Structure 1
C-alpha cells in the first residue's frame, strides 16, 4: 500500500540554480575580445605599457645596423734615421790618430808605386832571407865629368802575408830646379809613400823633402825620417817605419787585431797627378846594391 504518511508528502528542498558552461565560455571569449581590443588599440600602446610593467619588451625597437666601416688606411712605413758616422767611410785622420796600422799591403804599395811611374819589381822573397819579402827599384844616371852619378834606390819590405815593416829611399845627387827644389819625378816617390798609408797627420814631411831639408816626425808608433848624410852632403836617406813599442799601442793593436775584426779595405790608388816615368836609359850605369844602398 502506498505510504500516505505526512512525512512522505512533505515538499523536497530546492537546490541552487546551475549556470550553464556555455555562458562561461561566451563570457571568457567576450572579455578576451574586449581586452585584446583595448591592448591592441592606439598602436598597441597599452600592450607595450603592460609589457614594460612586467619587465619584458614584446616589441624591441628596430636597431639599424651601423654602416660598414671603411677599411683602415695602411700605416705609413716606419722611418729610421741613422747617425751619419754609422754609414760614412772611416776618416783617415781619425783612424791614424787612434790606431796606427799599415792601411795598405806590401804588394798594393808596390803596385801604387808602379802606377806612379816607379817601376818596382814584384813582391817576392828577398834573396838573403826567405822570410823577408820586398819589392825595389833602382835607377842610375850617367856620370857627368867630376860630378857624382845621380841614382835612386827604393825598397818596400815586409813579410809573406804582405804586412809592411818599413819603406826606404836613397837618392844620390838628385836633380833640382832653379829654386833648389827636388825634381817632381823624384818627389813623386815620396808623395806616393806618404799618401798610401793615409797617415795624414804627418803634414810637414813632404814640404821639407821637396826643399831637401832634414825632417823627422814621430807619432803613435810611426816614424818618418828624411836626412842628408853628414859625410856625404849629396846623399839623402828616407825611412818610413811603424814600431808600436809602448804599452797602450800594443794593447790597442792587439784589441783591433784581424783575428777579431774584419780587415779594413785597402785604399784606392789616387792618380790625380800625371805620373812621371822613371826608367833607366840604355847608357845608364845602374848602381849595384852596395853599402850606399839601404839593403
Structure 2
C-alpha cells in the first residue's frame, strides 16, 4: 500500500461525540419535578405568584352563598293557669263528695249550751292532750218506786275542732203518757242531728222519740240508738264518721288541708307588678265567690 494513502487517513479529523436522547429525557423529567415541587410547595404560593405575574388568576376565590339568616326567636308563650286548678279544694264543697262535719266541736258545744244543756267548754281531755271534748252530766233524784234518771253527753274531736264522734247515754229517761221521750231530753238529739245538716237520716229522730232501736249507715256516717240488753232502762246514742272504704279515705285525704300548700293570693301578685298609684280592678274569675257560695 502506498505511503501517501496512510498519511492521508491519519490526518482526517474526528467527529463530535453524540449525547444520548435518554439523557435529555431524564434531564427534562428531573427539571419538571423540581419545578413542580417548587411551584406546588408552600400551599402553591409560588404557582399563584407566577400566574398573577402573567395576568392569570389560576385559583379564583370560591363564591359562597351568604349565610342564611337565623329565624327570629319567637316570644315565649305564657299561659296562666286558672286559680281553681292549683288552689286547695274548698272545704265547703267537700260534702258533695264526702260526708263531713259542717260544724266544729266548739260550735256544737255552744249550740247545746244555747239550748240549755250546760256542757263544759271545748278543751283538751285530761287523759289525752290530743283529744278535745266537751261534756254534760246530770243525775236526777230517785223517786219512791223508780230508779234515778241520768243523762250523759260528750262531744269529742281534735285540736283543730273536727268532731270525731258524739255520744249520749240516758238512764231511766222520763216519758209522757204515750211512752215518748221527754221533749227536754229529745232536744239534745234534735240539735246533734240538725247541726251537721245530714238530712238523709230522717228516721232516726222519730225512733229516738219513741225509744226504739235504730241504726243507720250511709256515706261514711254511722248513727245508732240502742237499748242495753242487760239494763232495759239504759239507752246509748252514737253519731260518728268512719271513712273505711278506699274511695272515702282517698277523698278525705284530698280535702285535707294538711297536704296542700297555701296558694298565692292573685290580688297580691297583681298589685306587686303594678305601681302603687294604679288601682287594679277586681278579678271576676277570682275564687272568692265560689268559696262563699259553694254548689
TM-score (norm 1): 0.55
1:179 aligned residue: 178
1:139 aligned residue: 138
Q: Aligned in 2, Cα 1:257/1:130: closer, same or farther, shift over 3 Å?
A: closer
Alpha-carbon separation, structure 1, partners of 2:191 and 2:291: 19
1:236 aligned residue: 235
2:122 aligned residue: 123
Q: Aligned in 2, Cα 1:205/1:96: closer, same or farther, shift over 3 Å?
A: farther
Q: Aligned in 2, Cα 1:198/1:231: closer, same or farther, shift over 3 Å?
A: same
Q: Determine if the alignment matches structure 1 residue 167 to structure 2 residue 166.
A: yes
Q: Is the 8 A contact 1:229 1:237 kept in 2?
A: yes
Relative CO higher for 1 or 2, CA cutoff 8 Å, sep ≥ 6?
A: 1
Q: Aligned in 2, Cα 1:97/1:230: closer, same or farther, shift over 3 Å?
A: farther
1:106 aligned residue: 105
Alpha-carbon separation, structure 2, partners of 1:253 and 1:264: 19
Q: Aligned in 2, Cα 1:215/1:96: closer, same or farther, shift over 3 Å?
A: farther
Q: Deviations over 1:151-180 (max 9, x none)?
A: 000000011111111000000000001000
Secondary structure at the counterpart of residue 213 of structure 1: coil
Unaligned runs of 5+ in 1: 1-89, 266-295
2:41 aligned residue: none
Report matched runs for 1:206-285 at 5 Å.
206-259=205-258, 260=260
Secondary structure at the counterpart of residue 111 of structure 1: helix
Alpha-carbon separation, structure 2, partners of 1:160 and 1:257: 15
Query: Once the 2 structures are TM-superposed, how far is the Cα of residue 132 of structure 1 from its aligned partner?
Result: 1.1
Q: Determine if the alignment matches structure 1 residue 156 to structure 2 residue 158.
A: no
1:79 aligned residue: none
Give the aligned CA root-mean-square deviation in angstroms: 2.4
TM-score (norm 2): 0.55
Alpha-carbon separation, structure 1, partners of 2:231 and 2:252: 39
Q: Is the 8 A contact 1:102 1:164 kept in 2?
A: yes
1:195 aligned residue: 194
Query: Once the 2 structures are TM-superposed, how far is the Cα of residue 219 of structure 1 from its aligned partner?
Result: 0.6
Secondary structure at the counterpart of residue 257 of structure 2: coil
